[in-house]
């Protein structure tokens, strides 16, 4: 058996371990499902009563943004869980086992993809109940969800590095919030960027969160000719720009996270 096959098997075992943990601590699953429902309902009925989006109902405009925001915030669970495992000495136990070190990180990030799939499913059902609809093909809808999950997976590796550097779960949450909060709000997630002040508008238009949101809206058919796309390459080619960011984040942060894991586990 090759080293790569062994590492993949180890990663599968760690993924299974993390998913079993959710089963044994059902509170994790409860909050994974309740938070998306709360976000959809609050934004749809609080913001929806005050915001008019030309050519498309606000609820349809909103849902893709809520999807992206929720999975990006959900990716912080990767960093939190790794910091918790380090703090409790679980990583030390993994070191004593004949397994690939990278399997811990791959298993953690892959199990968090499952969490995000659950969140998206719950949000999609809630969105359908409040009036959101998909106006394209089944393939287009699948592509929209896949893009969101790929971006969330890439962000999970960023959070993995943060969790290994910080090592304290509470600080991971605070540090991630400081970065992710403006990243998801200074974007086209909840409102069009047309009326943003110019510096914020430029940032929002090139923000990868905006690109993923725009790409998802296009794949779901939640756009309108009355709502012109800003004249920037990133949003005119939202799918390509989103994939560029996914590849860039993975190429940079997977090696950095694996290297930092080796340092953190040897302390």
- Domain range for 189: 3-265
Q: How confident is the model at residue 1 (pLDDT cuts 50, 70, 90)?
A: very low
Within 13 Å, how many C-alpha atoms sit on residue 167's CB side? 13
pLDDT at residue 266 is higher than 70: no
Pick from 199, 241, 212: nearest CA to 149: 212
- The chain-wide mean pLDDT, for the chain, equals 86
Mean pLDDT of 105-126: 89
DSSP 192: -
Number of structural domains found in the chain: 1
Rounded CA-CA distance 41/221 in Å is 21
User: Beta strands of 78-226 (E only): which ranges?
Assistant: none
CB 164 within 8 A of CB 256: no
DSSP 229: P
Pick from 100, 105, 68: nearest CA to 86: 105
Mean pLDDT of 24-37: 72
Q: Is 215 exposed, middle or buried (0-12, 13-18, 19+ CB in 10 A)?
A: buried
Rounded CA-CA distance 205/175 in Å is 24
Pick from 191, 192, 209, 178: nearest CA to 67: 209
From 83-97, 144-158, 160-174, 196-210, the region with the lowest mean pLDDT: 83-97
Distances (CA, A) of 86 to 92, 114, 140: 8, 22, 41
Pick from 122, 117, 119, 109: nearest CA to 142: 117
The 10 Å CB-count burial string (b at 16+, else e) for 227-256 is bebbebebbeebbebbbebbeebbeebbeb
Helices 58-74 and 208-220 cross at an angle (nearest 10°) of 130
- Residue 205 is predicted with a pLDDT of 94
């Amino acid at each position: 058996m090759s080293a790569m096959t062994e590492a993949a098997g180890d990663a599968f075992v760690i993924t299974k371990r993390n998913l079993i943990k959710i089963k044994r601590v059902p509170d994790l699953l409860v909050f994974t499902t309740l938070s998306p429902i709360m976000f959809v309902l609050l934004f749809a009925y609080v913001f929806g009563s005050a915001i008019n989006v030309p050519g498309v109902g606000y609820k349809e405009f909103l849902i893709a943004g809520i999807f992206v925001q929720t999975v990006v915030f959900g990716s912080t669970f990767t960093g939190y869980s790794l910091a918790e495992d380090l703090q409790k000495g679980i990583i030390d136990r993994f070191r004593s086992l004949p397994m690939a070190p990278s399997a811990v990180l791959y298993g953690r990030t892959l199990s968090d993809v499952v969490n995000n799939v659950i969140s998206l499913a719950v949000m999609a059902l809630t969105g359908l109940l409040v009036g959101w609809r998909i106006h394209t093909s089944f393939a287009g809808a699948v592509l929209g969800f896949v893009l969101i999950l790929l971006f969330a997976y890439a962000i999970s590796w960023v959070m993995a590095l943060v969790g290994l550097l910080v090592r304290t779960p509470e600080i991971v949450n605070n540090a991630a919030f400081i970065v992710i909060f403006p990243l998801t709000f200074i974007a086209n997630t909840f409102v069009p960027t047309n009326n943003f002040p110019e510096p914020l508008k430029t940032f929002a238009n090139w923000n990868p969160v905006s690109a993923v949101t725009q790409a998802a809206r296009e794949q779901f058919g939640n756009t309108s000719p009355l709502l012109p796309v800003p004249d920037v390459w990133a949003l005119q080619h939202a799918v390509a720009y989103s994939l560029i960011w996914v590849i860039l984040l993975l190429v940079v942060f997977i090696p950095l996270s694996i290297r930092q894991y080796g340092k953190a586990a040897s302390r």
